[in-house]
Structure 1
């Protein structure tokens, strides 16, 4: 993926730094090629030898003399990057602040894949003419969302890859989605279809609009017989509120509010400044000068950057584990365990989010008993098993055959995942590896 260095953080008014004369502050964010923040990346000024590291959001601040220099950015398992800062660039900086977005490339992205023969790794479904789009678990085996020739299908297979049931479906499905009640759905750009029945009578219920799904069903994150838990993101997606609703009384109760105050303040300033500039651009429609074209293009870039990067939701998930509610609050480095009434039972510290390669992904196994977090180091995925009582990492499992596996799920001591077979015209296959 091409290195992204854009005008990320037109953070010129974000923090309102007051510089001493002859100094400049560099404010930046370091991410990987998937736009995941790299925590603890090393930032070094090659002239003064002054350095710092990135915080939990991948952000760094470095105050330096107002002179030309080169900034060296490095992170274990990634290619280092040198960013030259010219005197002209420094002199033209707004409010003595230079804003950077740095993307580091994993070292293994350019390596040739090495085939590792291992008895505990195998293709779960091996049909050369089949393109697998997504999958999920079924008590009898697996659901596969796939395409064969020009026909899209939902297929149920058993543990030996035998087809138990096929359903012809509309073209171009996007993915499978399991809701808070455990029901499985096929999602399209405009419609959602619930999968209903067992292998002898498998069917799809009538579809309903994606907007209704996103409004009513998607926010539900956990369910009990009498209580439902919901999530609601705040402005710029930098806060999240968890609340419950009692089914009978319809009573609503706040469970927890999580706010990334630092990111919110920065992004809110950026948003206000960008929207103000966007309001100026349309007023000069008749002006077709190069200067106006350049200004409109810069505004468009800033709006795009806000929508696709800055406003990405914070990751502090609520999960149902061992019939309790776990809230993983990465802002305060703690997990909160609640009962089904939303009452706090206990807390414990968490630090897996500082592990090398943490990818903002928590995986609860199919039984709902085990917790795993995903890390990627050198392109290989690692599953760190977390003790639900202490929050400590008790095991680490390496998915050792394929780089950048996708849609990892765990069941009965096996990790399942999709992998893009570059040697087979980019066909997606589903694999499983024994991890216990």
Structure 2
């Protein structure tokens, strides 16, 4: 009983001796468990086809809740006591993997490869074409890319944009030039309709010039001037510049032709959503909601109340501003989503994908309508508002997203019928461009913030190119 009394004294337990004995037994049991030999197993989780490490994968001991998560380099470590055991490896978008670890391999580095989930591919067919990694420097991530007359212009970075560089690659992926010192905080690249590429920073934009041996930044422009012009500039043809001006809260696009010889602006074509304009006409109060509601409006309202404005009045003003903001956000994102009707130059014609009228319009450079093709692909629920043009082949593609998988369909502009699906190899891709029969896209490694890579994939061609797709 002496041990019991000591235990009670030191832990201030107001318990009966029998309870103290129970605690002693628990302590002895715990000590025995801790005395069991433990072993560290380690491994790497990766994506099988590309052999890229997968961060954020869950590695669990089957039949228990004990496990860990793979790090940025795909590695993991687990402390275990008994062999054999089964590891269950899971990751969003990938098939679950079960792996048995025996004592004979407990000291090896376990290489656990995952395949993309079949559920992600339901309803689509993947071609046998694999994605080719373009930029292979593992210390950098691709922020943006654009096609250059000499190849490919990349904006790359590391350390959370603290160090950004421009890299020009040839068509054979050889490095032609690098510009390591960039002004401002890197944001993106912009390719205009005059085939010029611009480096866009937070406050300024610069045209990129390649001298044949080096890259230079010229013509700095305030971002407040650059962005609206760059956004509106749609096409160029024989001294004529075409601009798309958004009006009526994004429900009207007025295309304007600027004749640089006559120095005159002429209305080229107007595209509008008559249904949404009708809703706007029947609800005049929406005009006020869709207008910019700024914080200084609230500050001005409080100013009018005077310095002695009551707390109740201030709360009422704050609530009113919040209600207006919520309703305005709903109207802009659900009811009055901006219409998508891009304009392209094709030979001696201008083409407008007039989705509100469900037709592709063929116009002269001066705006006369020559022909129109009916379309319905844009009515499908999986359609993504994106038309891509292969400038070298003068071919067009439209995009669908199904279960996080992007599919590109060649679009016959003469019939308006999309062709067979080209399913991109990776899910949840980012920027997509098409050139000379290849699709280029960026893909961020799962679980990684700073690891975005650039790939290209061969697009299907040949017979049946314009066959109707089931997707």
Tell me the TM-score range normalised by the shorter chain.
0.5 to 0.7
Alpha-carbon deviations, 1:277-310, whole Å to 9, x = none?
9979645572323555433432333345556666
Give the drift of 1:222: 0.7
Q: Closer, same or farther in 2 for the Cα pair 1:205/1:275, shift >3 Å?
A: closer
Matched, 1:415 2:431: no
Q: Map residues 209-288 of structure 1 onto 2, 5 A cutoff.
A: 209-266=222-279, 269-272=285-288, 282=302, 286-288=309-311
Please tell me whether Structure 1 or Structure 2 has the larger radius of gyration of its CA atoms: 2
TM-score, normalised with respect to structure 1 = 0.68
CA distance in structure 2 between the partners assigned to 1:214 and 1:124 by the alignment: 29
- 1:205 match: 218
CA distance in structure 2 between the partners assigned to 1:134 and 1:390 by the alignment: 34
Q: Which moved more, 1:239-248 or 1:274-283?
A: 274-283
- 2:115 match: 115
Matched, 1:187 2:197: no
Give the drift of 1:184: 0.8
CA distance in structure 1 between the partners assigned to 2:222 and 2:420 by the alignment: 42
The DSSP-based 3-state class of the residue aligned with 1:169 is coil
Matched, 1:431 2:413: no
- 2:410 match: 385
Please provide the CA RMSD for this pair: 2.9
Give the drift of 1:322: 3.7
Is the 8 Å Cα contact of residues 342 and 352 (structure 2) preserved in structure 1? yes
Matched, 1:164 2:176: yes
Q: Closer, same or farther in 2 for the Cα pair 1:291/1:324, shift >3 Å?
A: same
Q: Map residues 59-98 of structure 1 onto 2, 5 A cutoff.
A: none
CA distance in structure 2 between the partners assigned to 1:277 and 1:361 by the alignment: 29
Give the drift of 1:331: 1.2
Structure 1: which 5+ residue stretches go unaligned? 1-108
Q: Closer, same or farther in 2 for the Cα pair 1:119/1:344, shift >3 Å?
A: closer
CA distance in structure 2 between the partners assigned to 1:275 and 1:170 by the alignment: 35
Is the 8 Å Cα contact of residues 142 and 158 (structure 1) preserved in structure 2? yes
- 2:394 match: 369
Matched, 1:133 2:143: yes
Normalized per residue, the structure richer in helix is 2
Is the 8 Å Cα contact of residues 238 and 313 (structure 1) preserved in structure 2? yes
Matched, 1:327 2:352: yes
Matched, 1:313 2:326: no
CA distance in structure 2 between the partners assigned to 1:420 and 1:382 by the alignment: 18
CA distance in structure 2 between the partners assigned to 1:410 and 1:123 by the alignment: 15
Q: Closer, same or farther in 2 for the Cα pair 1:355/1:301, shift >3 Å?
A: closer
The DSSP-based 3-state class of the residue aligned with 1:127 is coil
Is the 8 Å Cα contact of residues 203 and 223 (structure 2) preserved in structure 1? yes
Give the drift of 1:391: 1.6
CA distance in structure 1 between the partners assigned to 2:319 and 2:449 by the alignment: 40
The DSSP-based 3-state class of the residue aligned with 2:225 is helix
- 1:11 match: none
CA distance in structure 1 between the partners assigned to 2:337 and 2:365 by the alignment: 29
Query: Would you say how many aligned residue pairs link Structure 1 and Structure 2?
Result: 327
- 2:322 match: 297
- 2:421 match: 396
Normalized per residue, the structure richer in strand is 1
CA distance in structure 2 between the partners assigned to 1:191 and 1:152 by the alignment: 15
Alpha-carbon deviations, 1:405-434, whole Å to 9, x = none?
111111121111001112444511011111
Matched, 1:153 2:176: no
- 2:374 match: 349
The DSSP-based 3-state class of the residue aligned with 2:186 is coil
Alpha-carbon deviations, 1:353-374, whole Å to 9, x = none?
0234111111111326011111
The DSSP-based 3-state class of the residue aligned with 1:206 is strand
The DSSP-based 3-state class of the residue aligned with 1:142 is strand
Alpha-carbon deviations, 1:25-70, whole Å to 9, x = none?
xxxxxxxxxxxxxxxxxxxxxxxxxxxxxxxxxxxxxxxxxxxxxx
- 2:189 match: 176
Is the 8 Å Cα contact of residues 321 and 368 (structure 1) preserved in structure 2? no
The DSSP-based 3-state class of the residue aligned with 2:338 is coil
Is the 8 Å Cα contact of residues 153 and 168 (structure 2) preserved in structure 1? yes
Alpha-carbon deviations, 1:86-122, whole Å to 9, x = none?
xxxxxxxxxxxxxxxxxxxxxxx95437636965312
The DSSP-based 3-state class of the residue aligned with 1:433 is strand
Is the 8 Å Cα contact of residues 414 and 433 (structure 1) preserved in structure 2? yes
CA distance in structure 2 between the partners assigned to 1:387 and 1:275 by the alignment: 39
Q: Which moved more, 1:152-161 or 1:401-410?
A: 152-161
Give the drift of 1:216: 4.1
